[in-house]
Structure 1
Amino acid sequence: MGSDINRKAMARLHKAEVMIAGEQLRLRLHDGKLIKDRRYHLRTYPNCFVAQELINWLISYKEAPDRATAVCLMQHLMDHDIVHHVCDKRPMFKDAKLLYRFCQDDGTFPFNTEVNVFNHGQRLYEHLTTGRDSILQLREEQGVVYQRSFPGCQVIDWLLQNGEIDCRRQGLELCRTLLEHGIIQHVAKKHNFFDSGLLYQFCINFRRRRRLSELLNESEREKEEGVSAQAQEDGHDDSPFVLNTMPPQENCNGFLSVQLNRPLKMISSMSRSSLASLQIRSNGYVPPATLSSTPVVMCNPKSVLKRNVTCEELLSLCAPYIKKVLTVMGDAVGWGFVIRGMAPVYVQAVDPGSPAAAAGVKVRQFVCQVNGRSVLYLDYRQVSRLVMTGPCTVVLEVMEPIE
């Protein structure tokens, strides 16, 4: 019985690692322009990549030693519903001039209970690690010191203070769900989650750069050696299933991340899900902070507005603006747009491959409502918090200039 539970837990961890690695790969391919609209048999397929080109890229960037291994890596992503053939007619990944697409890019990613729990856990992780007074600290339990740990009662306090839950019982249920799905665990793996002083940790380092080859190797190892092999792997610092246990460096709040191969103008350690930064691939901005550990620097500080606009002007009956209601379904990374300003807040930038872009969010739109709540007279920090602490699906009422 215990062996079956361990197998299920490791399967969930591996699924989470594959999701993170797949998303990191998707963002890098967008940045490298391998993903783009392509025409085939008189039809244009948006956000696609050619299998042969991707295999060349994987070998070039040392993600795979040879073409056969690269095909196995991509097949692994296909088996986990990360990528698929554009017509869904080919269950096998082929090293050929065939078009494939990431499920995140065409909205076909299966948002089941497991994925929703994973997304919630990742958002919670980002909030806890990027906050000024993070509760993830060096703590001691039973004479053993644990890095980046937190008491159960304190995380429930944090959830209440930040509007994530309505009562402590709801927080207890949420944290137990995260524990059951392998997102968090008791530091000594001895207890379920309790609203007490017991210490817990995140099982997954969401910010560490994942190499596809290590995920494939881990999958093969599980098949060959079973749970016993994973027990050994759990004690290894380089395991994709454990947090980095090295002592934290001074003034460093993040984990090691993707190293970019070209200079960037501006860098941010925030995540795309924080709405305070994102990757504008065509202009050379940094990838989202789930992949970054660099100091915080405001990205694109110059306003995109052509002139200042007041709330009174937007509310005027003769104002040259049109009102729209947009529904943005967040993915595992976030929503993919940046807001700036105060009274009114406006859209500063939009990731072209994000859920926001797919929903119709555009630069220079003014945000009037978030999930039915008026935000016209709030600043961007307050609006960002409303979005981040709300549901994954965000309903925005915006006003955009009439062209």
Structure 2
Amino acid sequence: MELLGNIQSAMMTRHQKAEVMIAGEQLRLRVHDSKLIKDRRHHLRTYPNCFVAQELIDWLISHKEVPDRETAVQLMQHLMDHDIIHHVCDKWPAFKDAKYLYRFRKDDGTFPFNIEVKIFMRGQRLYEHLITSKDSILQLRQEKGVAYERSFPGYMLIDWLLQNGEIESRRQGLDLCKALLEHDIIQHVQPALDLKVPTNGRCGSLTHQQHSSCGYPLNASLTAALAVRCNPTSVLKRHVTCEELLSPGAPYVKRVLTILGDALGWGFVVRGKSPCYVQAVDPGSPAAAAGIKVRQFVCRVNGRSVLHLDYRTLSKLVMTGPRVVTLEVMEPLD
């Protein structure tokens, strides 16, 4: 009864509106997966993306999300009171366990988003991405003899946001992290610290992993459905192979560049595989100062050949290594 617990816990928190919507979004995705949401005809008119109240109540009970019909109606009424769902044909304020058509407001674009809800939804999406990503930065870490589960150094979060196309610059990353911190999506693991985004080696953590009352944890199916990855269009003009880069007389020049990372990381994004290339560089970053440029191909990292690695493995190699990174790159002569 995970959805039941999420919605009930959301009823009692100060961020009620945002958290009820997150619980409602979990339900919406699962109902879509179960094919209960579809176009329906009523009085010779077609209503898109609707569900039948009675069918959904039956579904909640059969999937053991609620113990009985009365509880199911109460939960759906709670979603209705918070503008998550609405009656399709009329403006009835009460949810009826009958063959009436309802729709999630997100499916028809009528949900009233506010700033707080947007931040909570962004934080939820980032969290799902983080916990499902391979080699996640959320790990068990030690700080002053105390172990913190699923915590991260601040600079790693900034680097991760850049690598995954969530932000365009480190400054934008700082602004996002400050918003997440202010809305209790992330927190310092040491309560004595000032409330500043942990952009140096200090660890931060995701609040909703330490306090289950927030109503954020999702099951495996919802995790897969909500994990969103950004794959920007390649900056390369054409595909280049490793063999082409290494062939005699190839129109590329080799450079060895040393980057001294600062509290926010290095400031460049790699993409591709065999070979990886530089997709983006933050203009004010250590990478830009060191001479890293877009469309350079990465051949070695700290003396290790990475020409045949994919960008995830290469990124992990850089992020888990020393703050001083020596890159051997090849760039086009033109």
Q: In structure 2, what is the equivalent of residue 241 of structure 1?
A: 214
Counterpart-to-counterpart distance in 2, 1:163 and 1:243: 23
Q: In structure 1, what is the equivalent of residue 14 of structure 2?
A: 11
Q: In structure 2, what is the equivalent of residue 203 of structure 1?
A: 207
Counterpart-to-counterpart distance in 2, 1:270 and 1:27: 7
Gaps of 5+ in 2: 1-9, 232-309, 312-334
Shift of 1:133: 3.6
Contact conserved, 2:154 with 2:201, CA < 8 A, in 1?
yes
Counterpart-to-counterpart distance in 2, 1:272 and 1:171: 19
Gaps of 5+ in 1: 1-6, 206-233, 245-254, 260-267, 277-380, 383-403
Contact conserved, 2:132 with 2:227, CA < 8 A, in 1?
no
Counterpart-to-counterpart distance in 1, 2:106 and 2:205: 28
Counterpart-to-counterpart distance in 2, 1:102 and 1:32: 15
Q: Which structure shows the higher strand fraction?
A: 2
Describe the superposition over 1:86-108 as per-residue Cα deviations: whole angstroms up to 9, x where unpaired. Answer: 13511221222221111122122
Shift of 1:17: 3.9
Q: In structure 2, what is the equivalent of residue 57 of structure 1?
A: 59
Q: In structure 1, what is the equivalent of residue 228 of structure 2?
A: 273
Describe the superposition over 1:313-353 as per-residue Cα deviations: whole angstroms up to 9, x where unpaired. Answer: xxxxxxxxxxxxxxxxxxxxxxxxxxxxxxxxxxxxxxxxx
Q: Secondary structure at the match of 2:14?
A: helix
Q: Please point out which of 72, 76, 79 is paired with 1:77.
A: 79
Which residues in structure 2 correspond to 1:2-401 (within 5 Å)? 10-12=13-15, 14-87=16-89, 89-190=91-192, 191-192=194-195, 193-204=197-208, 239-241=212-214, 256-258=219-221, 269=224, 271=226, 273-274=228-229
Output the amino acid matched with 1:37.
Answer: D
**Per the alignment, do residues 257 and 133 of structure 1 end up closer, same or farther by CA in structure 2, a change over 3 Å counting?**
closer
Counterpart-to-counterpart distance in 2, 1:133 and 1:36: 37
**TM-score (normalised: structure 2):** 0.57
**Per the alignment, do residues 243 and 20 of structure 1 end up closer, same or farther by CA in structure 2, a change over 3 Å counting?**
closer
Q: In structure 2, what is the equivalent of residue 341 of structure 1?
A: none
Contact conserved, 1:204 with 1:242, CA < 8 A, in 2?
yes
Number of aligned pairs? 223
Q: Secondary structure at the match of 1:93?
A: coil
**TM-score (normalised: structure 1):** 0.48
Describe the superposition over 1:180-225 as per-residue Cα deviations: whole angstroms up to 9, x where unpaired. Answer: 12211122444412423322111235xxxxxxxxxxxxxxxxxxxx
**Per the alignment, do residues 183 and 32 of structure 1 end up closer, same or farther by CA in structure 2, a change over 3 Å counting?**
same
Shift of 1:167: 4.6
Counterpart-to-counterpart distance in 2, 1:160 and 1:274: 12
Output the amino acid matched with 2:220.
Answer: S
Contact conserved, 2:188 with 2:203, CA < 8 A, in 1?
yes
Q: In structure 1, what is the equivalent of residue 269 of structure 2?
A: none
Shift of 1:147: 0.8
Shift of 1:272: 5.2
Describe the superposition over 1:218-272 as per-residue Cα deviations: whole angstroms up to 9, x where unpaired. Answer: xxxxxxxxxxxxxxxx76xxx343888xxxxxxxxxx75349xxxxxxxx95745
Counterpart-to-counterpart distance in 2, 1:275 and 1:180: 25
Counterpart-to-counterpart distance in 2, 1:77 and 1:270: 21
Output the amino acid matched with 2:119.
Answer: V
Q: In structure 1, what is the equivalent of residue 322 of structure 2?
A: none
**Per the alignment, do residues 10 and 42 of structure 1 end up closer, same or farther by CA in structure 2, a change over 3 Å counting?**
same
Higher relative contact order (CA 8 A, sep 6+): 2
Task: Kindly report structure 1 stretches of 4+ aligned residues shifted beyond 6 Å.
Answer: none
Output the amino acid matched with 1:241.
Answer: C
Shift of 1:273: 2.2
Aligned identity (percent) is 63
**Per the alignment, do residues 35 and 256 of structure 1 end up closer, same or farther by CA in structure 2, a change over 3 Å counting?**
closer
Counterpart-to-counterpart distance in 2, 1:198 and 1:17: 28
**Per the alignment, do residues 128 and 30 of structure 1 end up closer, same or farther by CA in structure 2, a change over 3 Å counting?**
closer
Instruction: Indicate the RMSD between aligned Cα atoms, in angstroms.
Output: 3.5
Contact conserved, 1:71 with 1:94, CA < 8 A, in 2?
yes
Output the amino acid matched with 1:125.
Answer: Y
Shift of 1:39: 1.8
Counterpart-to-counterpart distance in 2, 1:156 and 1:27: 29
Counterpart-to-counterpart distance in 2, 1:59 and 1:243: 22
Q: Secondary structure at the match of 1:110?
A: coil
**Per the alignment, do residues 243 and 54 of structure 1 end up closer, same or farther by CA in structure 2, a change over 3 Å counting?**
closer
